Amino acid sequence: MPLTWDAFKEGDELPVRLKAPGVTQLVKYAAGSGDFNPLHHDFAFPQSQAIGSIIVHGRFKYAALGELVSNWLDHGGRIVKLACQYRGMDLPDREMTLRGRVVRKLEQGGRRQAVLELSVTNADGQNTTPGSAVVELRG
Amino acid sequence: MAETIEITPAMQAVVGVDSAPWAFEVTTTSVRAFARGVGYTDPVYFDEAAARAAGYRSLPCPPTYLGTPVFIPGKSSDTFSAPLDTGPRLRHGLANVLDGGTETEYFADVCAGDRLSVTTRVSDLSVKKSRATGQMLVVTNTTTYTNQDGVVVAVQRGQGLYY
């Protein structure tokens, strides 16, 4: 069901999404995005060896936050702005918890927008990828 | 790992200079490949009938996807697929790169069938200290996506961390 303006309020949490992308999923993301940095699929790559593992693309986490918001909107609106920072590395096959919360609802000039706070939390409870979004509802 | 990183006048001269445009294609196949890479199950990103039922012209770009740069061997980065040499090259000699963050503003929808003209520029250079890697060069790129009708559909700012 496409999201409507009256169906949510400030403080609401978006449905949580769990992800634990393995190497195969990261290879699919590499192919889909065109980012073939070996740091995301090749354990023998010098930077992977220095870090001790391949790491999840920051942009995979950015896209996954986009997916979290897209699933919530269910095409009842559009994303106006989406941002995140890559503060910590995430490793393959480790569970990441993606969360979103409605911080503000604003109606001005006939536009109905909501500001969201987003996060990607690793298994140790660390928010590796704080983010935010602005969405605009259709109805 | 660099002990000290200096932003030279030659590096500073690159800031604010727009690249030549490069074509980014949005196709049904490329939208599906990206959506599959993220792990979407929403049929709107895979099934054209579902996309039309949801009000789109064709498969819409999932958030953060803004087309695939046309790949030409020798003219495109073999690693990142982005075009090479469309703008001034930033020379810093640092071997390692991490992604610092990304911000995208959207002004209109982008769907399969669109062809985007994309220009990018280094919009800021700074040096910061990181506990893990010592000094890092922070390169902010601003990329503008314009569709076939001349409408700016998105502006993206990204930070590369070089060390």
Residue B20, burial from CB neighbour count under 10 angstroms (0-12, 13-18, 19+): exposed
For residue A85, the chain B residue with the least C-alpha distance is: B101
CB B87 within 8 A of CB B49: no
The residues spanned by each domain of chain A are 5-20+58-137
Residues 6+ apart with CB under 8 A from B79: A35, A36, A37, A38
Handedness of CA A61, A62, A67, A69 (dihedral sign): positive
CB B42 within 8 A of CB A70: yes
ipTM of the complex: 0.97
In one letter, which amino acid is B86?
T
Handedness of CA B114, B155, A127, B100 (dihedral sign): positive
To test the contact with chain A by mutation, choose from B99, B111, B142 the residue with the greatest count of A C-beta atoms within 10 A, namely B99
A83: chain B residues, CB-CB within 8 Å:
101-104
Residue A105, burial from CB neighbour count under 10 angstroms (0-12, 13-18, 19+): middle
Q: What is the pLDDT of residues A75-106, one digit of tens each?
A: 999 999 999 999 999 999 999 999 999 999 99
Q: How far is CA B134 from CA A51, A101, B2, B93, in A?
A: 15, 34, 7, 15
Q: Which two tokens stand for residue B39?
A: 């792990």
Quick one: CA torsion of B40, B45, B47, B53, rounded to 10 degrees?
120
Q: What is the pLDDT of residues B12-28, one digit of tens each?
A: 999 999 999 999 999 99
How far apart CA A30 and CA A41 sit, in angstroms, is 9
Q: Please calculate the CA angle A94-B161-A79 and round it to the nearest 5 degrees.
A: 65
A70 vs B: CB within 8 A? yes
Q: What average pLDDT score do residues B105-125 get? A: 97
Beta carbons within 10 angstroms of residue B163's beta carbon: 17
Average pLDDT, chain B: 95
**Does domain A5-20+58-137 sit in CATH 3.30.2130.10?**
no
Dihedral pair phi/psi, residue B30, rounded to 5°: -70, -35
pTM for the predicted model, two decimal places = 0.94
Task: Give how far A79 is from chain B: nearest CA, Å.
Answer: 7
Q: Kindly list the structural domains of chain B, giving each domain's residue range(s) and its CATH number in brackets, ordered by start.
A: 9-25+86-162 (3.10.129.10)
- Three-class secondary structure of residue A104 per DSSP: strand
Q: Worst-scoring range by mean pLDDT, A55-59, B98-102, B112-116?
A: B98-102
Q: What is the pLDDT of residues B38-55, one digit of tens each?
A: 999 999 999 999 999 999
B63: chain A residues, CB-CB within 8 Å:
63, 65-67, 69-70, 79, 82
For chain B, the C-alpha Rg in angstroms (whole number) is 18
